């Protein structure tokens, strides 16, 4: 079974200028494909849906549908599932990532999203829609704080991108400490912090490219020699040694298979 492409956006992406990130949709999906804007994350689906509808229409997407799955019943509705099944690209808006997982998790709609991706489709998500891509997602944590055991709360995500934790609005909200704590708790995973107006484009061969105007921070825990994370009281400061950190702007990428940075051709 083939895999599609994930476009994982750190939030606050450019909607009115060149829109380098959102322009990936028309570039990848072809002229006849259907783009579905999924507004489950937000409590203002009409306004958010209309906003993105106008943006993607301006960027040349011909076939756009806005789908508000707002309840578990909606997520098992046959018509809604058929609309997801027909999509070449599914775009998940920002909002609250727990709304996405608690409404979609284990539902027919969830399995349709997974099937679209597994069969070569494109899944895009911004902010909360980015966090849910991983198998374990960040739900809550303190911004602009040192790494402490209590700064990070996690929950199961949609499991489209395994072996990672994704954090968004990363540098702008000072989230390095909380992502570092997440990697310390499970050094086998890779922490990926995505800045605003920045995205990663994960290809079927499991490498990703950085898009946008800021940077992606990668925290690789495989090299950690020691940490005190298991011994911490909730407000204690994390001690960690020999962790590997990369900061990558556009023009760079990362191979998830061998954990190596890629310098892409201009």
State the catalytic residues.
Answer: 127, 145, 169
Q: Rounded CA gap, 180 and 221, in Å?
A: 9
114 vs 124: CA distance, rounded Å: 12
SS3 87: coil
Calpha distance 165→48 (Å, rounded):
26
Cα 51 to Cα 40: distance, rounded to the nearest angstrom: 15
CB-based burial label for 161 (10 Å; 0-12, 13-18, 19+): buried
Backbone angles phi, psi at 192, to 5 degrees: -125, 110
How many alpha carbons fall within 13 Å on the CB side of residue 9?
26
Instruction: Give the residue among 166, 157, 217 at the shortest CA–CA distance from 189.
Output: 166
Distance CA 93, CA 42 (A): 7
Q: For residue 148, which of 185, 173, 171, 181 has the smallest C-alpha distance?
A: 181
Tell me the C-alpha distance between 264 and 262, whole Å.
6
Tokens 């058929």 belong to: 82
């Amino acid at each position: 079974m083939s895999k599609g492409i994930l476009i994982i956006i750190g939030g606050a992406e450019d909607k009115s200028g060149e829109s380098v990130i959102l322009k990936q949709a028309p570039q990848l999906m072809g002229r006849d494909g259907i783009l579905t804007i999924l507004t489950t994350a937000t409590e203002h689906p009409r306004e958010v849906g209309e906003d993105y509808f106008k943006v993607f229409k301006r960027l040349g997407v011909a076939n756009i549908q806005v789908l508000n799955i707002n309840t578990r019943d909606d997520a098992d509705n046959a018509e809604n599932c058929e609309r997801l099944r027909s999509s070449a690209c599914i775009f998940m808006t920002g909002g609250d990532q727990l709304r996405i997982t608690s409404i979609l998790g284990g539902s027919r709609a969830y399995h349709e999203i997974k099937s679209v991706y597994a069969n070569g489709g494109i899944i895009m998500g911004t902010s909360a829609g980015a966090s849910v891509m991983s198998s374990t997602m960040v739900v809550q944590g303190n911004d602009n704080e040192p790494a402490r055991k209590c700064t990070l709360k996690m929950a199961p995500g949609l499991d489209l991108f395994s072996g990672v934790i994704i954090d968004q609005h990363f540098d702008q909200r000072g989230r390095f400490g909380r992502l570092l704590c997440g990697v310390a708790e499970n050094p086998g995973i890779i922490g990926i912090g995505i800045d605003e107006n920045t995205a990663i484009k994960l290809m079927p061969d499991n490498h990703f490219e950085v898009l946008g105007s800021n940077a992606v921070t990668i925290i690789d825990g495989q090299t950690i020699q020691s940490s005190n994370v298991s011994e911490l009281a909730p407000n204690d400061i994390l001690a960690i040694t020999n962790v590997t950190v990369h900061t990558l702007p556009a023009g760079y990428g990362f191979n998830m298979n061998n954990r190596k940075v890629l310098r892409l051709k201009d």
